[in-house]
Chains A and B, each alone.
Chain A
Amino acid sequence: MAQPQLHKKTNSKLEETNSLKGTLASVILLGFFIIFTWVGVYFLFLDRF
């Protein structure tokens, strides 16, 4: 009787860990922040003598 319940539990856990939407969003945000600051400093460098 206990076994089917166990199976159900592991299934729902797997689905939760497989959703990486939040991770993707934070990685992309961090990536754009790094690119934005890098480009900003690069253009500051080009503008100065």
Chain B
Amino acid sequence: MHMHKFEKIWLIFGVGALLVFLSVLGVSAFYLGNQPPSCLATIDQEKVDTLPPFNEPGLKKVEGKDWDYELIFVAAAFAYTPGEVEVPLGAKVKVIATTKDVIHGFQVAGTNINMMLEPGYISEYVTTFDKAGEYLILCNEYCGMGHHMMTSKIEVVE
């Protein structure tokens, strides 16, 4: 088959770029262990308030795990519990969140924490809070009349 020299060049260029992007994705998933925030952990959404860890929302120190703190959030129309929380600078935290009613978003503006909270599922994200400041949490999944007022706040303090 006759192929123009230039066609060979951009085919190699395109296939090469595709391979690089897929390798980055593969390393992230299979070597670094990154996974979607909601990954198979389930909960009975009717009993969220009574089941640990969601019966005590907020920041909790934990021992013997890969992270130092667990930050528990419960979302329900149209608020998060807790409404404001302080996290020490440099703490390695596992954010664990779920919803009691409909689908909510959980986006910590200006960070990589951006999860969808689905009824019946637990969403988790492990990160190190290494920049001090105030971070706004907001709902980015339309959940009803009060959606635009559904916020919370994380303060990273020294």
Residues in A lying within 8 Å of B, measured CB to CB: 18, 20-21, 23-24, 27-28, 31, 34-35, 38, 42, 45, 48-49
Contacts and interface: CB of A to CB of B under 8 A. Distances in A.
14 contacts: A18-B4, A20-B6, A21-B6, A24-B6, A24-B10, A27-B13, A31-B14, A38-B21, A42-B24, A45-B112, A49-B111, A49-B127, A49-B129, A49-B130
Contact of B4 (A20, A28, A31, A49): A20
B66 to A, nearest CB: 16
Which 10 pairs from chain A and chain B are nearest by CB? A24-B6, A20-B6, A27-B10, A48-B112, A49-B127, A48-B111, A49-B111, A49-B130, A20-B4, A31-B13
Interface residues of B, number: 19
A17 B143 CA distance: 55
B1 interface: no
A23 to B, nearest CB: 7
B44 interface: no
Nearest to B14: A31
Q: Which among B6, B17, B112 has the highest number of chain A CB atoms within 10 Å?
A: B6
Q: Which among A18, A24, A42, A49 has the highest number of chain B CB atoms within 10 Å?
A: A49
Given A18-B4, A49-B129, A49-B131, A31 B10 contact: yes
B25 to A, nearest CB: 11
B9 interface: yes
Contacts of B131: 49
A49 B128 contact: yes
B17 to A, nearest CB: 6
Contacts of A34: 17
